[in-house]
Homo-oligomer: A and B are copies of this chain.
Amino acid sequence: MTVSGQQAAPNGTATRDRLGRLFTPESVAIVGASDRSSWSHRIHGALLNIGYDGEVYFVNPRGGTAHGAVAHRSVGEIGQVPDLVYVMTSAEASLAAIDEAARLGTRSAIILSSGFAETGPEGLLAQRRLAEVAREHDMAVLGPNTLGFANPARRVVLMPMQPGDELEAGAIGVVSQSGNMAVQVMNMARSFDVGLSLLASTGNELNVTATDVLDYLVADEATQVIAVFLEAVTDPAAFRRACLRAQQAGKPVVMLKVGRSEAAARAALAHTGALVGDDAIISAVLSASGVIRVDSMEDLLTTADAFVRSGPVGGRNLAVVTISGGGCDLAADRADGLGLRYPPLGEATMGRLRELLPSYATPQNPLDATGAAVADAQLFGAAIAAVAADPAVDVTVAIGEIEHHAPESAWGLDSITAMTAAARQAPRPVIFTNTTIHTITPGARAVRHELGVPSVFGGMDRVLAAVARIADWSAAPVRAVSEPPQRPRPAGSQDSQDLPARAGTWSEADARSLLERAGVPVVPAVLARSPEEAAAAAGRFGTPVAVKVVSPDIVHKTDAGGIALNRSGREDVIAAARQVLAAAQRQVPAPRVDGILVSPMRPEGSGVHDLLVGVVRDPDWGPVLAVAMGGIWAEVLADVSRVALPCDRPAIESAVRALRGAPALLGARSLPGIDLERVVDAMVAFADLAVSLGEDLVAIEVNPLRVTADGAEALDVTVQWRPRS
């Protein structure tokens, strides 16, 4: 299903309305409320903590009181219809409570309880019954097996929250499939004074999925950036479209997707009852969907926080301003590893810095404004202003140490006001952070809020990495939500009468035909019916030849002894042909044999490289193109780039350039480089072919694709189709 770039998802408005209701209830019933339940205390405490001003009802089948108020025996006994029920009873009791509330007209629910799909067949059945009830009454159900959500702007928190720092409203929307990870984000946000627009954990995703919340946040005006903790999605295509819509809306999606390792895949299975897909494919799809992928919870929140303060960043030219030589050293080393550059400052900037700084300071980038900036309230702000105004600088990170210094110590309010003004008036982004992470004093917290200091938590180590990611995101092309316009459909994509049915594997000869019709350059070859015909063909090529057995049943020809390389002379070729035929006949069960393929050997040498180019079609995530350096080195070094298909031509060129071996391909040490234009032509034709082959395709692979200064030529190809159903 394809939707245009400007439209929301089908039922998008309806879904957003449902979620809007879910996240802003004016009355809440806590089902299972009890003074003896720590969960009950924590949820009730969270509502008190945030200052929820709606009605709160308690429900407990045993009646009595809970948290100092009456406990109703059922939702029906409340006498009012609550907007939302938060259910923390056993799975069976939960089902009954939801059923009752839904009949009464409650349209939103949160189910903390586990014991559903994640526990096995019985739980799955219970979850299905729950789904029926919810569908019948159009009820939005967060969970089951969720911890709930927090909506600090509307002062609703229905998620366990311990005493401590305030949760502030802000511009970061967060969705997590794991409840615990949602709580982790909440606690980091509270510890380090990061504002959130919404935080939701989706658990078993009965009828509110991470994709739904993502879509809601794309439309939510308070949200500028979206942080996602993901285990597995049930509808990858819809999820990908939601990511593309976020990109189009100018809202980065920062994502921590777990399940990279096999051990993690096992853990997720126990946790969500959903499968975790192959990580490399997911990485390619996320990358093509404009998603910023991170590896840790801290990087997730720091990257989002940095974007709220910086907005898009125009390039990788960084300036750092600090008051410490050691800080400059650290900043220089860190940026170096992240591919950020320190451009030399222009003469105007240098002149201004010489005016500002004490004589023993060195005007340069990164800049040590020296300890003099501690004594002079205006100096640090003026230095930031000078550096940030330099046209060579895309983004300035000032090691402001606001959380550490302000306002009890070194930086007075005057200093911080000057620094903040400099950041606000700068023509390009300026953000602040600390050299290292530490806690915020209440005084510093107050100053941050009062002045709107653009200070990012996490310390230089994480913040510079966040800046690099934001620069990447800002430079990425914005793709349409619809599939990119198809290039003219390659001829090979139509079934021709002379090609076999699309099932199982094809012989090399048939697979070659696919490539040829699609315009992928293929080495010439003759399909000979006998050793003598093979020898005659070899004679016509006039070079040493490769001799291969042709069979749809022999995929790994080398392993089967079905290939003889570098043969020349009539007798040698005849012997080779007999040898590969004999090898085929030794296979059990006996393979079909269509003949002998004879093709000229291509010379090796400097400037000649073997690539492997293949497309794998994941049933969920779609086709992904892999480009790899060929040969033993590629296997050892695993030098592979992956691109989700369909994609545009620059994405394929980037994949080639992203190979570690690219400098060798493109001509290192005065060796000849390949004809990149024509190589990419061949890959584009190959990728288009693979896309056009549709869902029947399992994989198609050219190995090797020989690339030289004259372009590309496929030397061998295999194709595999889904079995006939």
| Interface residue ranges, A against B (CB under 8 Å) | 38, 42, 114-115, 118-119, 160, 162-165, 176-181, 184-185, 187-188, 190-192, 229, 231, 256, 258-261, 263-264, 266-268, 270-272, 295-299, 323-330, 332-337, 342, 360, 362, 364-366, 368, 370-371, 374-375, 404-405, 408-410, 435-439, 441, 459, 461, 606, 632-633, 635-637, 660-661, 663-664, 668-669, 671
Contacts and interface: CB of A to CB of B under 8 A. Distances in A.
Contacts of A661: 633, 636-637
Given A178-B326, A188-B437, A296 B461 contact: yes
Contacts of A163: 408-409, 441
Contacts of A342: 263
Contact of A459 (B260, B295, B297, B368): B297
Copies in the complex: 2
14 contacts: A164-B439, A188-B436, A188-B437, A188-B438, A191-B437, A192-B439, A258-B330, A258-B333, A264-B336, A267-B328, A295-B461, A633-B661, A635-B669, A636-B663
Contact of A326 (B229, B461, B636): B229
Contacts of A162: 404-405, 408-410
A228 B637 CA distance: 34
A243 B542 CA distance: 68
User: What are the 9 closest A-B residue pairs judged by CB atoms, nearest first?
Assistant: A271-B325, A178-B326, A180-B324, A162-B409, A264-B332, A261-B336, A258-B329, A267-B328, A191-B438
A176 B326 contact: yes
A128 B77 CA distance: 88
B635 A271 contact: no
B326 A258 contact: yes
A449 to B, nearest CB: 17
Contact of A297 (B263, B296, B435, B663): B435
Contacts of A333: 258-261, 264, 295
A439 B365 CA distance: 33
A436 B187 contact: yes
A353 to B, nearest CB: 13
Contacts of A184: 435-436
A439 B191 contact: yes
Given A263-B335, A324-B178, A271 B329 contact: yes
- Of the candidates A190, A405, A637, A661, the one having the most CB atoms from chain B within 10 angstroms of its own CB is A637
A137 to B, nearest CB: 28
Nearest to A364: B266
Q: From A297, A436, A459, name the one whose CB has the most chain B CB atoms within 10 angstroms.
A: A436
A59 B441 CA distance: 33
A668 B437 contact: no
Given A375-B38, A437-B298, A368 B267 contact: yes
Given A410-B162, A637-B660, A325 B268 contact: yes
Given A114-B371, A263-B342, A636-B660, 8 more contacts: A38-B374, A178-B326, A187-B404, A264-B330, A271-B326, A271-B328, A295-B337, A299-B461
Nearest to A259: B329
A180 B326 contact: yes
A287 to B, nearest CB: 18
A366 B266 CA distance: 10
A453 to B, nearest CB: 17
Given A181-B324, A188-B438, A267 B329 contact: yes
B668 A635 contact: yes
A267 B664 CA distance: 34
A191 B327 CA distance: 19
A632 B664 contact: yes
Q: Which of A181, A271, A333, A409 is packed against the most chain B CB atoms within 10 Å? A: A333
A606 B664 CA distance: 20
A410 B267 contact: no
Given A188-B436, A337-B295, A360 B114 contact: yes
A325 B260 contact: no
Contacts of A370: 114
Contacts of A329: 178, 231, 258-259, 264, 267-268, 271
B668 A165 contact: no
A114 B359 CA distance: 12
A260 B68 CA distance: 62
B263 A336 contact: yes
A113 to B, nearest CB: 11
A686 B118 CA distance: 61
A119 to B, nearest CB: 5
Contacts of A669: 632, 635
A204 to B, nearest CB: 12
Contacts of A176: 326
Contacts of A256: 330
Nearest to A632: B664
A438 B161 CA distance: 14
A187 B437 CA distance: 9
A364 B668 CA distance: 50
A189 to B, nearest CB: 9
Contacts of A187: 404, 436, 438
B637 A637 contact: yes
Nearest to A459: B298
B437 A437 contact: yes
A119 B459 CA distance: 29
Nearest to A163: B408
Contacts of A441: 163-164
Nearest to A342: B263
B368 A409 contact: no
A330 B435 CA distance: 26
A221 B114 CA distance: 51
A202 to B, nearest CB: 12
Contacts of A164: 408, 439, 441
A172 to B, nearest CB: 15
Contacts of A410: 38, 42, 160, 162
A380 to B, nearest CB: 14
Contacts of A375: 38
A180 B38 contact: no
Q: Which of A330, A405, A409 gathers the greatest number of chain B CB atoms within 10 Å?
A: A330
A436 B633 contact: no
A270 B296 CA distance: 35
B436 A297 contact: yes
Contact of A332 (B114, B263, B326): B263
A335 B409 contact: no
B633 A664 contact: yes
Contacts of A334: 295-296
Given A635-B668, A635-B669, A325 B178 contact: yes
